[in-house]
Amino acid sequence: MGCTSPIETKIQKDETITAIDSIIGQSQKNLLVLDSTSKRTDSTITGKVEKTVKQITNLKEENTKLKKENELLKDKLDDVSNGGKPFELLPVSGGKGNR
């Protein structure tokens, strides 16, 4: 059987309370750091999402524009009078002797 004095018991309780307070304090600091990091991460993600959405919108507009341009070119090619018939190359005069 062991005996402890009231002073030893009080010291042990004080040390325990101090240790618990220290752990709680460190936990609160960690929570503040995590909250700050989380906010920065959310901000970065939001920025990237907004940039991606803008790029998608620009690509959709460009795609629509290119489709219209393609249709115009196709219409012009369909309206060509020669109808895709082969053409004939004429000889080019080469020099003094061919004149």
Per-residue pLDDT tens digits for 9-32: 666 777 888 899 999 999 999 999
Question: Which residues have CB under 8 Å from 84's CB, separation 6+?
Answer: none
Q: Which two tokens stand for residue 42?
A: 């959310």
| Residue appearing with tokens 């249709």 | 71
Give the length of the chain: 99
pLDDT in tens, 30-86: 999 999 999 999 999 999 999 999 999 999 999 999 999 999 998 888 777 655 567
User: How far apart, in whole angstroms, are the C-alpha atoms of residue 80 and residue 87?
Assistant: 13
Give this prediction's pTM.
Answer: 0.49
Q: Which CA distances in Å does 62 have to 32, 55, 69?
A: 45, 10, 10
